Structure 1
Amino acid sequence: MLKITKAGNHGILLPQLSIGLDYSGSKAEHVFVSHGHADHIPWKNRGTVYATPPTSSFMKLRGVKYEVQELPFQKTLETENARITFYPAGHILGSAMTFVESDFGNLLYTGDYRTPPSPATEGFELPDKSIDTFITEATFSLPVYKWKSYEELKAEVTGFVQEALNNEYTPVFLAYNLGKAQEIMFLLKDLVHPIQIHGAGYKLCEVYEEHGFPLGNYESYDRDTCEGKILICPGSALNNGFASNVKKKRIAYCSGWAAMEARRSQLTVDKLIPLSDHLDFFELIDLCEKLQPKITYITHTPNPNVVKHYLDERGIPSQFLDMAAGPND
């Protein structure tokens, strides 16, 4: 069986194979990066780092200085001790699940993932093999988190824009600069209405365009010309003066956390749209049931015992992969 060590707050180490997964430590010869969000990028590195081509581009744009080896989906890399293959994770563009095969057994590490996948990604695909060890995030780990269909969410996003514009309000979406912002733009591109995105998100949009995901009629945010356009920014930007000169605006918060009505008063927004780039609770349980791994490790979750309870009921062995230590330490 593969030994697994949770490397503090950043990454997983497979010590028998000298392999790190989203890992920033010094004990891995080979490190595989699941996607371009900052909490998964190895900012300190001493080994060879591999990522999909879009993730490599995002890493460079976000300030990574070391060389990244590009590994396309479903192209297997062989090291001295293992065979490693990336599979599309459906989370953001370039996001990958890492499948590791070795003499100690195999392992599927999800990173962050979504199924059904975001339409602004390469999709979602699993290895066509039985899984020994499954490491899954469980960000939305309660049964209250059940997402609407893609069609319903697209209708909410476009409907919010149309209603705001029809009433001479400027529509503003609160969304992460990488992934969520571009998904919203992808959903709105057919409206052909000008979009302005926060500057930090704007520079990342080119990667989507380069990989075949058109994002519509967009430009970088300009305070002097933003009124009447569709605006997209992270929530923190509003506190720093984003569109503060626009008096008539409607604000929508887009996140899986929007499934909780309390967020409306916490954030002072006009609409909550539960558009998540993670899978919901029931999709997580269903996927574990489909895979039937020998062991499932649950990570990145405030409620591991709830997930474990549902998996126990289905006869699927599982345990929490603590942020501070791995099960084999």
Structure 2
Amino acid sequence: MLKIIKGGNHGILLPQLGIGLDYRGKQAEYVFVSHGHADHIPWSSNAEAVYATQPTKKFMKLRGAKYEVQELPFKQSIKTENARITFYPAGHILGSAMTFVESDFGNLLYTGDYRTPPSPATEGFELPDAQIDSFITEATFSLPVYRWADYEELKAEITGFAKSALDEGYTPVFLAYNLGKAQEIMHLVKDLNHPVQIHGAGFKLCDVYEEEGIDLGNYETYDRETCEGKILICPSSAINNGFASNVRKKRIAYCSGWAAMESRRSQLTVDKLIPISDHLDFFELISLCEQLQPKMTYITHTPNPDVVKHYLDQRNIPSQFLDMEGEQDD
């Protein structure tokens, strides 16, 4: 049986294999990084080797990781002394990978963060063709209230908000996380052929998307003096710190899975809530577990594991909670 140990507040350790997954501790010889969000990057590492996809490696370097990272392309396996490891596209953000570990102790699929159906600004989503023994899944949106519209509806809602604001003389502002969600929105509004300005921290990450063939349209870094009348994208924190504060006529949309909760409107003082997430929704999670039929499902990154477990119990899918913390990057 494959032993799975929570690696502090972040990451997974497989001690029999010397393998860490998004792991920051000192007990792994090999570490595999699922994607470039801050709560999954080990900021220091004593491992013999750290592996990531090419985009994730670039994001890690841009965000401050100082150690050597080796590239592991999707569906190209490497072998260690005790295991075979393969990355599969996770559909969360560009470069995001699920890690499939095969060993004499059984196999394991670690999702990191993932989205199915995938974000259109990613490499897609693909599962290994194997019966899964241990399945480690995030459950960020672990209540039935979280059900996403399809991407055609979301694109229409996002582009419609931008167009109506511009037509009425307002500057549209989308509140979105700097890595992943911001570029997803840029990709969705590109067909409007209207100039976009993105928060500086997000702007420096956009080159990686362009290098990987993701079209982000006509964009530039945020400039306070010229931002009025452009489509603006920034994280929620920036709007409280002076972003576009000189623009009197603006309309603000909060873009997140958390936008499914109406209370966010008053908390953030926004004009529109758009529930668009780079995580899968509750029903997609349950459906995927039904499809995989893993021998054991480990539920992580959720305030409500009992709800997910209840639904999986009804379907005779064994599960348990693996207590891990994560930032609300959605």
TM-score (ref. length: structure 2): 0.98
Counterpart residue identity of residue 108, structure 2: L
Q: Secondary structure at the match of 1:139?
A: coil
The aligned residue for residue 187 of structure 2 is 186
8 Å Cα contact 2:44-2:67 kept in structure 1:
no
The aligned residue for residue 65 of structure 1 is 66
8 Å Cα contact 2:44-2:66 kept in structure 1:
no
8 Å Cα contact 2:44-2:65 kept in structure 1:
no
C-alpha separation in 2, matches of 1:296 and 1:138? 11
> Over residues 10-64 of structure 1, what are the superposed CA-to-partner deviations in whole Å (9 max), with x where a residue is unaligned?
1100000000000000000000000000000001200111000000000000011
8 Å Cα contact 2:53-2:73 kept in structure 1:
yes
The aligned residue for residue 88 of structure 1 is 89
C-alpha separation in 2, matches of 1:132 and 1:122? 25
1:154 has 2:155 as partner: yes
Aligned pairs for 1:125-164 (under 5 A) are: 125-164=126-165
C-alpha separation in 1, matches of 2:139 and 2:44? 26
C-alpha separation in 1, matches of 2:7 and 2:29? 15
The aligned residue for residue 296 of structure 2 is 295
The aligned residue for residue 327 of structure 1 is none
Counterpart residue identity of residue 13, structure 2: L
C-alpha separation in 1, matches of 2:180 and 2:225? 26
1:40 has 2:46 as partner: no
C-alpha separation in 2, matches of 1:217 and 1:19? 42
Q: Secondary structure at the match of 2:279?
A: coil
1:9 has 2:12 as partner: no
C-alpha separation in 2, matches of 1:121 and 1:61? 19
The aligned residue for residue 274 of structure 1 is 275
Q: How many equivalent pairs are there?
A: 324
1:119 has 2:82 as partner: no
The aligned residue for residue 19 of structure 2 is 19
More displaced, 1-10 or 89-98?
1-10
Q: Secondary structure at the match of 1:231?
A: strand
Q: Secondary structure at the match of 1:13?
A: strand
Counterpart residue identity of residue 51, structure 1: A
Pairwise CA distance, 1:154: 0.3
The aligned residue for residue 233 of structure 2 is 232
Counterpart residue identity of residue 86, structure 2: T
The aligned residue for residue 311 of structure 1 is 312
1:196 has 2:197 as partner: yes
Percent identity, aligned pairs only, is 82
> Over residues 163-189 of structure 1, what are the superposed CA-to-partner deviations in whole Å (9 max), with x where a residue is unaligned?
000000000000000000000000011
> Over residues 146-204 of structure 1, what are the superposed CA-to-partner deviations in whole Å (9 max), with x where a residue is unaligned?
00011110000000000000000000000000000000000011111000000000000
Counterpart residue identity of residue 56, structure 1: K
Pairwise CA distance, 1:323: 3.0
The aligned residue for residue 30 of structure 1 is 30
8 Å Cα contact 2:295-2:317 kept in structure 1:
yes
C-alpha separation in 2, matches of 1:238 and 1:261? 19
Structure 1: segments with no counterpart, 5+ residues: 325-329
The aligned residue for residue 166 of structure 2 is 165
Q: Secondary structure at the match of 1:247?
A: coil
Counterpart residue identity of residue 113, structure 2: D
The aligned residue for residue 328 of structure 2 is none
Aligned pairs for 1:95-114 (under 5 A) are: 95-114=96-115
C-alpha separation in 2, matches of 1:44 and 1:19? 16
Counterpart residue identity of residue 45, structure 1: S
C-alpha separation in 2, matches of 1:322 and 1:163? 44
Pairwise CA distance, 1:8: 1.1
C-alpha separation in 2, matches of 1:192 and 1:86? 35
C-alpha separation in 1, matches of 2:9 and 2:155? 35
C-alpha separation in 1, matches of 2:287 and 2:151? 18
C-alpha separation in 2, matches of 1:221 and 1:27? 42
Q: Secondary structure at the match of 1:99?
A: strand
> Over residues 212-257 of structure 1, what are the superposed CA-to-partner deviations in whole Å (9 max), with x where a residue is unaligned?
0010000000000000000000000011100000000000000000
Counterpart residue identity of residue 43, structure 2: W
8 Å Cα contact 2:32-2:52 kept in structure 1:
yes
